[in-house]
Structure 1
Amino acid sequence: MTDQPDLPHDGAPASSDNSSRSGTRAATVIELKDYRQSPDPLPVTFHRRELDAILWVYGRMVGEGEWRDYALDHLKDKAVFSVFKRSGELPLYRIEKNPKLAAKQGAFSVVNTQGTILKRGHDLKQVLKVFDKVLKLVE
């Protein structure tokens, strides 16, 4: 089994009678260079190091039993990492990356369920410190 579609010798996609009967359409293959040159902007994404920092905090909070699920959205204007206590509810927190705010308030922010921005800044690791627990003295 390969990742490549079955192509006849002329390079055109092969038509299949089974796909037309089941109601599914054949996928269109688009060259990556054509996609990058398209007038539609690419979605904003988290870079690998940013995602590593977010997933480190997420793993710690899952281990503590605070969080259970997450969703990752890459939109045209921002990237959002949403954190859930239960998968059927509203997100407890949203970690957002908005490059348009990078020169002003900082591209990264943490927003709670009510829409209040808990912390915003230029450095993601500093913004994620909002999830650090304050140690209390137990007597």
Structure 2
Amino acid sequence: MAGVSNVIPFAVTGSSPRVTQVAFTRQELDRIMSLYGRMVAAGLWRDYGLEMGPKLASFSAFRRTAENPEVRLVKDPALRGRQGEWILYGEGGAILKRGHELANVLAVLERRLLKAVEG
């Protein structure tokens, strides 16, 4: 049957009956990909990578495919009550911004985009 797909869950083994995974919500991913598209249009980024695991989720943006990421946005729910679950890392691994709100953390990159477009 064309167009029909079945989703079969993997069997979970080990001591934990349910493995949790940190992921971006649809709204978060929409916001991130919107910024990514604008950065690509400005010629600043060319590729991206997503990683979702049991403790954190990350989005990495690259100038070139074979390089280290220029920026890495991490969602770490374990830090929600402290510095905020969002962390933005620069190319050298330095923390550029931390926060509780995605929009505030992405503002650093949006300012960079405005400078690139204006100048």
Tell me the TM-score range normalised by the shorter chain.
0.7 to 0.9
Superposed, 1:76-87 pairs within 5 Å as 76-87=54-65
Tell me what 1:65 maps to: 43
Aligned residue among 90, 101, 105 for 2:68: 90
Tell me what 1:14 maps to: none
Q: Quote the Cα distance in structure 1 between the aligned partners of 2:107 and 2:100.
A: 13
Letter paired with 2:5 = D
Q: Give the TM-score normalised by structure 2.
A: 0.81
Structure with more relative contact order (C-alpha pairs < 8 Å, separation 6 or more): 2
Letter paired with 1:91 = P
Shift of 1:40: 4.5
Shift of 1:39: 2.8
Tell me what 2:88 maps to: 110
Tell me what 1:16 maps to: none
Tell me what 2:9 maps to: 30
Q: Which runs of 5+ in 2 are unaligned?
A: none
**How many residues matched?**
109
Q: Quote the Cα distance in structure 2 between the aligned partners of 1:114 and 1:76.
A: 25
- Displacement over 3 Å in runs of 4+: none
- The root-mean-square deviation of aligned C-alpha atoms, in Å, is 2.3
Shift of 1:88: 1.1
Q: Give the TM-score normalised by structure 1.
A: 0.70
Q: Quote the Cα distance in structure 2 between the aligned partners of 1:96 and 1:105.
A: 13
Q: Which runs of 5+ in 1 are unaligned?
A: 5-28
The alpha-carbon distance between structure 1 residues 85 and 48, as it changes in their structure 2 partners (threshold 3 A), is same
Tell me what 1:125 maps to: 103
Letter paired with 1:127 = V
Q: Quote the Cα distance in structure 1 between the aligned partners of 2:62 and 2:21.
A: 23
